[in-house]
Chain A
């Protein structure tokens, strides 16, 4: 190992200053000195490839214990039955839990399924993802386009849109619950205009719309920020050239902005999709999954089945979470694919 190079001392200084960095780094150098010989020995024996494995091992160990192992345990749980918690006390049922989840006369009619709540949750999650992601991307894009213009107090407006992202999901849920409940702010505001108080969250259609709306409000700032960064990376001379050619603003958007923003947009879409499939916290606080099961989503179904229902059914909850995990794996692979594609484009 080569010794670290030192910058030569500056001339013209009245008093020589203590080199604090060398003082701070002294223990590091000492430890590295101690480790130098054993590491050289290890490299000699294990080779370059072995050294890579050696340095990756701590990370892989953490990943294995906290990510891989729980997934494997979850998979095993999904093949067991009974209400006991310990695997040793649970009976092996093979794929029964999956068969139970898929026991349906028609997948489009949840009521024809043995686990109707699961398929209701799947249907709700599907529509939530479609609506929430579409509207979220649309609003984020519009907001980013506006915030990218020369506005008065632009930084202030950027902060305003980003602020809900900083709130805890429970706080988001509670704020909107206070607004939408029968004695809430919305009815308070509408009453002087002659509207009778209405229990918005007891209305199945409105409750679903509220779940979508609140979720968009809470997360829009994050995606706006990513899109804003993408917009700012587009070279200004392209716009100047288009303007000189007399191109209409709509054409500029479709021909310059959107194509050049596409890599960011694709990342945002995939991230929003993954997040939407996992929807739980703010909606759980806002509607509790009701009215009936109209805002019951997959994550809540898994939580209720594994922890709330009497007796608890950890096996069924594990099977449902494995299926949900598979969907997320597909979405993550798409995201990775897009990332690599962008990387290759950048290299070219």
Chain B
């Protein structure tokens, strides 16, 4: 009898520790409150589909960036993941086309960004964008008002913003006039506005041109003369990402260049401490563009439950679900039907509504090259080299010219190494 109980207990332990057929595991990261909203939507799915057990693993963004790619390379990983390196990892995504209920619905509503997340030349349905993002600026309106400095207009250039922010910083005794996230993605929009063209004729990375060198050089100079906060850029080595959002939230900078994903974060953390506005992207000689991007929910091809995965994806891509997710999380939707119908963001804050509208309007000035970047295979390679070497120049370890030479040689080396 005792032996039987022992066997029964062992069998139960074994079952509890292994995934059941019908389990769908989702690796999810959150910038703000979207994890709670997502879990709520998933719970509703499980009520509608009692045979499918969806497990949401909430992880830090660094896990998505650093550990998930290794898991995928090893042929493991979750069934579904929320990712930002969507093109770079495209070979690991499952083709949902034969599995979803209505492939036409997916093409119609998510087709505009489908190429960002599939291998070049295929018509694969890998997933959908949970949010569209656009890089852009934020200004501390209260600080500008207190300093009696008018906010630069929508066509204002980077130089005009720098001059205005400097006046505010001087008057209000804040440490830095401007700040930008330590990210190659963030600095690329302004470089494109300055005339940069990263993509060569052969589709591979082109050496830095005058436009790119112009803005990167200006950024280094601003960091050295105190116009731009250098703290965030020198706070790490290599390609590590660091956000400067806390400096803006704490009222330590007058102008912060980040992107639309910060709107819910600011709404929650700044509250009524001060007034802030989204400004769109300042202009350069070539454009006034931000860089689009976002997070996608993609199915992983190593799943053992492809049918269940497709069912979950079908549910999450439903128009009413996408609409609810966007309205509750304050994220810009990527669903064509939802955009056409309009989104009623669930917020009482006029600041938030105005900021979201600014970003929606800013999409109209996004340049063609900026729109190409998320779907370009080498964008992460380029961003990595740019952020590593620019940060070294900001820290005073090398000259701007040396940094430019190193960016070109680093990228060339990576392109060569990847062809091995």
A and B held together in a complex: yes
A115 to B175, CA, bound (A): 36
Asked whether, in the complex, the Cβ of B175 is within 8 Å of the Cβ of A311, the reply is no
Q: Name the distance in Å between A94's Cβ and chain B's nearest Cβ.
A: 12
Asked whether, in the complex, the Cβ of A310 is within 8 Å of the Cβ of B239, the reply is yes
Q: Is B70 positioned at the interface, with any CB of A under 8 Å from its CB?
A: yes
Q: Is B13 positioned at the interface, with any CB of A under 8 Å from its CB?
A: no
Q: Is A183 positioned at the interface, with any CB of B under 8 Å from its CB?
A: yes
B379's nearest neighbour on chain A, judged by CB, is: A310
Asked whether, in the complex, the Cβ of B240 is within 8 Å of the Cβ of A308, the reply is yes
Q: Is A55 positioned at the interface, with any CB of B under 8 Å from its CB?
A: no
Q: Name the distance in Å between B195's Cβ and chain A's nearest Cβ.
A: 25
Asked whether, in the complex, the Cβ of A291 is within 8 Å of the Cβ of B234, the reply is yes
A168 to B396, CA, bound (A): 33
Q: Which residues of B contact A288 (CB under 8 A)?
A: 235-237, 240, 242
A199 to B250, CA, bound (A): 16
Q: Which residues of B contact A293 (CB under 8 A)?
A: 237-238, 392, 395, 397
Q: Which residues of A contact B65 (CB under 8 A)?
A: 308
The listed residue (A197, A290, A310) touching B380 by CB distance below 8 A is A310
Asked whether, in the complex, the Cβ of B418 is within 8 Å of the Cβ of A199, the reply is no
Asked whether, in the complex, the Cβ of A304 is within 8 Å of the Cβ of B239, the reply is yes
Asked whether, in the complex, the Cβ of A304 is within 8 Å of the Cβ of B231, the reply is no
Residue-wise interface mask of B (285-323) relative to A, using a CB-CB cutoff of 8 A (1 in contact, 0 not): 000000000000000000000000000000000000000
A197's nearest neighbour on chain B, judged by CB, is: B175
The listed residue (A85, A91, A202, A296) touching B237 by CB distance below 8 A is A296
Most buried by B among A294, A310, A311: A310
Q: Which residues of A contact B381 (CB under 8 A)?
A: 310-311
Residue-wise interface mask of A (289-332) relative to B, using a CB-CB cutoff of 8 A (1 in contact, 0 not): 11111111000100010011111110000000000000000000
Q: Which residues of B contact A291 (CB under 8 A)?
A: 234-235, 395
Interface footprint category on A = 35 or more
Most buried by B among A116, A291, A293: A291
Q: Which residues of A contact B402 (CB under 8 A)?
A: 111
The listed residue (A81, A292, A311) touching B234 by CB distance below 8 A is A292
Q: Is A51 positioned at the interface, with any CB of B under 8 Å from its CB?
A: no
Asked whether, in the complex, the Cβ of A81 is within 8 Å of the Cβ of B398, the reply is no
Q: Is A342 positioned at the interface, with any CB of B under 8 Å from its CB?
A: no
Asked whether, in the complex, the Cβ of A308 is within 8 Å of the Cβ of B66, the reply is yes
Asked whether, in the complex, the Cβ of A117 is within 8 Å of the Cβ of B417, the reply is no
Interface footprint category on B = 35 or more
Q: Name the distance in Å between A289's Cβ and chain B's nearest Cβ.
A: 3
A290 to B387, CA, bound (A): 13
Q: Is B384 positioned at the interface, with any CB of A under 8 Å from its CB?
A: yes
A86 to B406, CA, bound (A): 30
Residues from 90 to 141 in B contacting A, C-beta threshold 8 Å: none
Asked whether, in the complex, the Cβ of A290 is within 8 Å of the Cβ of B384, the reply is no
Q: Which residues of A contact B406 (CB under 8 A)?
A: 116
Asked whether, in the complex, the Cβ of B237 is within 8 Å of the Cβ of A292, the reply is yes
Using A81-B420, A85-B70, A313-B417 as known contacts, say yes or no to A182 and B237 having CB atoms under 8 A apart: no
Asked whether, in the complex, the Cβ of B239 is within 8 Å of the Cβ of A300, the reply is no
Q: Which residues of B contact A68 (CB under 8 A)?
A: none
Q: Name the distance in Å between B83's Cβ and chain A's nearest Cβ.
A: 14
Asked whether, in the complex, the Cβ of A292 is within 8 Å of the Cβ of B391, the reply is yes
Using A81-B417, A86-B74, A312-B69 as known contacts, say yes or no to A304 and B383 having CB atoms under 8 A apart: no
Asked whether, in the complex, the Cβ of A289 is within 8 Å of the Cβ of B238, the reply is yes
Asked whether, in the complex, the Cβ of A310 is within 8 Å of the Cβ of B235, the reply is no
Q: Which residues of A contact B250 (CB under 8 A)?
A: 183
A197 to B395, CA, bound (A): 19
Asked whether, in the complex, the Cβ of B384 is within 8 Å of the Cβ of A310, the reply is yes
Residue-wise interface mask of A (76-90) relative to B, using a CB-CB cutoff of 8 A (1 in contact, 0 not): 000001111110001
Q: Which residues of A contact B384 (CB under 8 A)?
A: 309-310
A204 to B65, CA, bound (A): 28
Q: Is A264 positioned at the interface, with any CB of B under 8 Å from its CB?
A: no
Residues from 387 to 420 in B contacting A, C-beta threshold 8 Å: 391-392, 394-398, 402, 406, 413-414, 417-418, 420
Q: Which residues of B contact A210 (CB under 8 A)?
A: none
A305's nearest neighbour on chain B, judged by CB, is: B238
Q: Is A224 positioned at the interface, with any CB of B under 8 Å from its CB?
A: no
B383's nearest neighbour on chain A, judged by CB, is: A310
A6 to B5, CA, bound (A): 36
Using A290-B395, A309-B238, A309-B239 as known contacts, say yes or no to A199 and B414 having CB atoms under 8 A apart: no
Q: Which residues of A contact B420 (CB under 8 A)?
A: 81-82, 90-91, 93
Using A199-B231, A313-B417 as known contacts, say yes or no to A292 and B397 having CB atoms under 8 A apart: yes
Q: Is A287 positioned at the interface, with any CB of B under 8 Å from its CB?
A: yes
Q: Which residues of A contact B66 (CB under 8 A)?
A: 307-308
Q: Name the distance in Å between B109's Cβ and chain A's nearest Cβ.
A: 30
A294 to B237, CA, bound (A): 8
A116's nearest neighbour on chain B, judged by CB, is: B406
Q: Name the distance in Å between A117's Cβ and chain B's nearest Cβ.
A: 7
Q: Is A228 positioned at the interface, with any CB of B under 8 Å from its CB?
A: no
Residues from 252 to 306 in A contacting B, C-beta threshold 8 Å: 287-296, 300, 304
A83 to B236, CA, bound (A): 24
Q: Name the distance in Å between B362's Cβ and chain A's nearest Cβ.
A: 27
Task: Beyond A288-B236, A311-B88, list 9 extra A-B contacts (CB 8 Å).
Answer: A85-B74, A111-B398, A114-B413, A201-B235, A290-B236, A290-B237, A295-B237, A304-B239, A308-B65
22 A–B contacts, CB within 8 A, in A order:
A81-B417, A90-B420, A182-B231, A199-B231, A287-B235, A288-B235, A288-B240, A291-B234, A292-B234, A292-B394, A292-B397, A293-B395, A304-B239, A308-B66, A308-B238, A308-B239, A310-B88, A310-B383, A310-B414, A311-B418, A312-B70, A313-B417
The residues of A with any CB-CB pair to B shorter than 8 Å are 81-86, 90-91, 93, 111, 114, 116-117, 182-183, 197, 199, 201-202, 204, 287-296, 300, 304, 307-313
Closest 9 CB pairs of A and B: A289-B237, A292-B395, A288-B236, A85-B73, A291-B234, A81-B420, A292-B397, A310-B380, A291-B395
